[in-house]
Homo-oligomer: A and B are copies of this chain.
């Protein structure tokens, strides 16, 4: 069966909503995420339900069938592999790769993905620290906690980000943060969740609450 780019995007959106909210995706939420009208969603979802890509219950919401889930996972795999390629090989800053990867992820060739994976050395995480599902669709899980929960004086490694929005990424990029950076917590305020850190043994940086809560680190 042929899956269009638009359908792939719907599957991905439903997957991400389910992952975040842990429930069926509503028409309105999907419309918001996809940047279309709710009417378009109902329209499209009906067709995708006929194709057995999603389970649709009127006035309730949409979930993925196992077929739909497989396609969504594969799409995320492709997206994240391309993001890593763009950052590691083409030297793009990490806040500039999302839109390009949104296009690259739709290239239809399993061989291409397999070879790209090999070229990048079968990576487990993308440049933002998000896990790259393997060819079987398995995500690697890692231990992590927000920097806001960290202990003063301890040394951490930046492993991920809770938010991937452009401005946040650009801010971090400009400060010199990247996945794998070492972060030593010099000072912290339990009152307002700000912190002073030493980044990669080089620069002392003051961070506000929003930043410390969205940086995911692991010990040592």
Contacts and interface: CB of A to CB of B under 8 A. Distances in A.
B108 A103 contact: yes
B103 A90 contact: no
A112 interface: yes
B109 A90 contact: no
Interface in A66-118: 86, 89-92, 96, 99-100, 103-104, 106-109, 111-112, 115-116, 118
Contacts of A91: 115
B119 A90 contact: yes
Nearest to A112: B100
B103 A115 contact: no
A119 B119 CA distance: 14
Contacts of A103: 106-109
A198 to B, nearest CB: 32
A99 B99 CA distance: 23
Contact of A92 (B89, B96, B99, B115): B115
Contacts of A100: 107, 109, 112
A106 to B, nearest CB: 8
Contact of A104 (B90, B107, B115): B107
Contacts of A96: 111
A15 B208 CA distance: 56
A106 B90 CA distance: 18
A95 to B, nearest CB: 13
A109 B98 CA distance: 12
Nearest to A99: B109
Nearest to A90: B115
Nearest 7 pairs of A and B residues by beta carbon: A90-B115, A103-B107, A100-B109, A90-B119, A100-B112, A89-B119, A104-B107
16 contacts: A86-B112, A90-B115, A90-B116, A90-B119, A91-B115, A92-B111, A92-B115, A96-B111, A100-B107, A100-B109, A100-B112, A103-B106, A103-B107, A103-B108, A104-B104, A104-B107
Interface of A: 86, 89-92, 96, 99-100, 103-104, 106-109, 111-112, 115-116, 118-119
